[in-house]
Chain A
Amino acid sequence: QKEVEQNSGPLSVPEGAIASLNCTYSDRGSQSFFWYRQYSGKSPELIMFIYSNGDKEDGRFTAQLNKASQYVSLLIRDSQPSDSATYLCAVNMNTGNQFYFGTGTSLTVIP
């Protein structure tokens, strides 16, 4: 089992719809969870992080964390074509300060 798993996609949604991206992780003691966006040929940029169970909202983005299920998700409301990118889930695991990224989910927002 990989430390962080994501559905590689591609995920396609129409403009204005809600995009839902999911991530599971293996280490139950993990503390911090991050969502990064990566455009093709560019480096990852942080969207938001979460470390408490529940929802955290920032503009059109909502991160959801369920530690009991070892599951973290990202919702993008009112999706725009400019949101088309690969979304990377990253987890700061409790053991040895390890930091793991998933393989990313490719999102395409169709105008």
Chain B
Amino acid sequence: EAGVAQSPRYKIIEKRQSVAFWCNPISGHATLYWYQQILGQGPKLLIQFQNNGVVDDSQLPKDRFSAERLKGVDSTLKIQPAKLEDSAVYLCASSLRLAGELGNEQFFGPGTRLTVL
């Protein structure tokens, strides 16, 4: 079974530029998550999709971050414009079960390391 795919793996941009990340979850997984992991910290949930609907985006900085999951499969996360503090690894994860179900195991992709100069 193929895992969660993400691209690009690395991205370097200057502040105020835009950037987009792509995620393809494990086939059949209903729930998709985007996390931001700053060096030395645990992952922080940005947004959670169930099929193509948003379950939770309370920690997404909506003035600069946006995400979509068209057709309930692939997802993109965009930052526009980027700030220095956005430098982090952006992780995509997916799970078979629906959000809030017991034992909702998440499987993570390799992540995209973003550096904002």
Within 8 Å by CB of A97, from B99, B109, B110, lies: B99
Interface residues in A66-101 (C-beta closer than 8 Å to B) = 88, 90, 92, 96-101
Interface size range on B against A: 20 to 34
Is A88's CB under 8 angstroms from B43's CB?
yes
Is A102's CB under 8 angstroms from B91's CB?
no
Interface residues in A24-49 (C-beta closer than 8 Å to B) = 31-32, 34, 42-46, 49
In whole angstroms, what is the CA distance A100 to B108 when docked? 15
A62 is an interface residue with CB less than 8 A from chain B: no
22 pairs of residues in contact across A and B, judged by CB atoms under 8 Å: A31-B100, A32-B104, A34-B106, A43-B91, A44-B43, A44-B91, A45-B108, A46-B105, A46-B106, A46-B107, A49-B105, A51-B102, A90-B42, A96-B56, A96-B58, A97-B55, A97-B99, A99-B33, A99-B106, A101-B43, A103-B41, A104-B41
Contact with B along A1-21 (1 / 0, CB 8 A): 000100000000000000000
In whole angstroms, what is the CA distance A99 to B55 when docked? 11
Is A104's CB under 8 angstroms from B45's CB?
no
**Quick one: given A44-B108, A46-B106, are A98 and B58 in contact (CB under 8 Å)?**
yes
B48 is an interface residue with CB less than 8 A from chain A: yes
Residues of A within 8 A of B (CB): 4, 31-32, 34, 42-46, 49, 51, 88, 90, 92, 96-104
Within 8 Å by CB of B110, from A31, A43, A96, A103, lies: A43
**Quick one: given A31-B102, A43-B91, A88-B43, are A97 and B108 in contact (CB under 8 Å)?**
no
In whole angstroms, what is the CA distance A31 to B100 when docked? 8
In whole angstroms, what is the CA distance A100 to B60 when docked? 14
**Quick one: given A32-B103, A92-B104, are A43 and B45 in contact (CB under 8 Å)?**
no
